[in-house]
Structure 1
Amino acid sequence: MNNLKGYYSIEGRSLLDFSSEELSEKVLLSYYEKTVGYEDYYTLQEARFIIGESEYKWKVRQRMIEVLELINPKRSVWKARDDYEDGTKRFNEALKQIKKTGINPVTLPTGWKIPQLPNLLMEIGSSLLPN
């Protein structure tokens, strides 16, 4: 509670102080972004194609695809980051660029037989997305 109080500049400590709709939305969206992200899901093949068509330089696109290929079998960004040989900074840069293209770095399994899955938040309503 003290973390929320400090981070969101909440003055009191009562349940009423922490129960505003605006605060609830901010906290939930914060955790949603950290765990799920705002990007759509694609298969690895589809994500490679989108990155290949992006306007990033060739070397940057290669690194983005390399990071996706590392994440794919692990099904986890955190596990893949630990195994990335070029360092955390380069991994995080590639991850940020992947997300900027609208691709969730955790790709869909090919067994699902769907090339793309929109982010759930878009289905709920774009009014919830942060500005």
Structure 2
Amino acid sequence: MLIQTGDYYGLTAISEFKGVAIYFNYILKDVLGLYVPDFFQWKVERVEYAADVPVREDLIPKYLFLFKKGNIPDYFLENKVTQQYWTSETNCYLMATSITANWYNRFETLLIKEQSSKKKYTDFSKTRGILRFETQYRVCEGTVIDYLDSNRAEKEIMKFYKLIVGNGDYYTLDMAIQLIRSKVGHFQKRLALERLITLIAESSGVWHAKEIFLQGKNKHCAADEFSKRLNQLRKMGINPVVLPPEWGMSKLENLFDRIKVSIEVGQV
């Protein structure tokens, strides 16, 4: 829905829907004379919550690469559409039956769409350096007013980020192990965490490491142990996904706090 003239690429803040409702009701009821519910009482068929986070352009592909190594549930990984877009360098597109988590390079995505459509888009240069975090629900129950809630928006945007990425900055494997040794005094616990993060580094990501970890074990107990260790790393400020040494970076900030700030200032 276009709120500001010419702003085709920004997000609509929840606070702006009061103005939308006034105009919507005026057109449908007063101008067209239709007997319809108030804007806020219409049933919702689909909703997309999103937050735009400014990120240095050259870092966006790196973040997307790291996201795909996170704790991605099987119901996303096994989806054919997820698999179709898996190798894309412009997005992390995770689709399930009725939900999609789409984290993407806003500018590059628009550029690809423009090139494939062979039409000239309205200038979208201001979307450079924007990483959009979007949660789409294609099956909804409730009315517009039920979904226009800032707390609900934050919960839905952050839900899959917390699950897949979680807390903790990214480090190289060597740096992560150094941090574990400096923070954990108990030998067995320290060794277990070192083994876990090494397993993740040597596999395709958290989701793949979990598959390996569960092999030959009681799956329920092993899954609980895996999740416990994963969360221990995150609580120490260490993301279980490590930086490739060829990047020449020893640390990369987690975007957790930046996403929350974007939501709080109304970019949702």
TM-score between the two structures when normalised by the length of structure 1? 0.78
One-letter identity of the residue aligned with 1:74: S
Contact kept in structure 2, 1:51 and 1:65, CA below 8 Å: yes
Partner of 1:111: 246
Change (3 A) 1:125 1:31: closer
Give the gaps of 5 or more residues in structure 1: 2-11
Partner of 1:71: 200
One-letter identity of the residue aligned with 1:39: G
How far is 1:18 from its partner?
0.8
Contact kept in structure 2, 1:75 and 1:106, CA below 8 Å: no
Partner of 2:227: 92
Partner of 1:14: 143
Aligned residues: 119
Contact kept in structure 2, 1:81 and 1:88, CA below 8 Å: yes
Change (3 A) 1:17 1:89: closer
One-letter identity of the residue aligned with 2:192: R
TM-score between the two structures when normalised by the length of structure 2? 0.40
Give the gaps of 5 or more residues in structure 2: 1-43, 45-140
Which residue, 179, 190, 202 being the options, matches 1:61?
190
Instruction: Find the residue that maps to 2:201 and give its secondary structure.
Output: helix
Q: Deviations over 1:17-71 (max 9, x none)?
A: 1122221111111121112212111110100000011134011000001000110
Q: Which has the larger radius of gyration?
A: 2
Q: Compare the two structures and name the one with the higher strand fraction.
A: 2
Contact kept in structure 1, 2:170 and 2:253, CA below 8 Å: yes
Contact kept in structure 2, 1:99 and 1:105, CA below 8 Å: yes
Change (3 A) 1:128 1:75: farther
Contact kept in structure 2, 1:40 and 1:116, CA below 8 Å: yes
How far is 1:75 from its partner?
3.6
Which residue, 212, 215, 219 being the options, matches 1:83?
212
Counterpart CA distance in 1 for 2:184 and 2:200 is 22
Partner of 1:8: none
CA RMSD in angstroms, aligned pairs only: 2.4
User: Does residue 40 of the first structure (1) align with residue 175 of the second (2)?
Assistant: no
How far is 1:124 from its partner?
4.8
One-letter identity of the residue aligned with 1:88: A
Of structures 1 and 2, the one scoring higher in RCO (CA 8 A, sep 6+) is 1
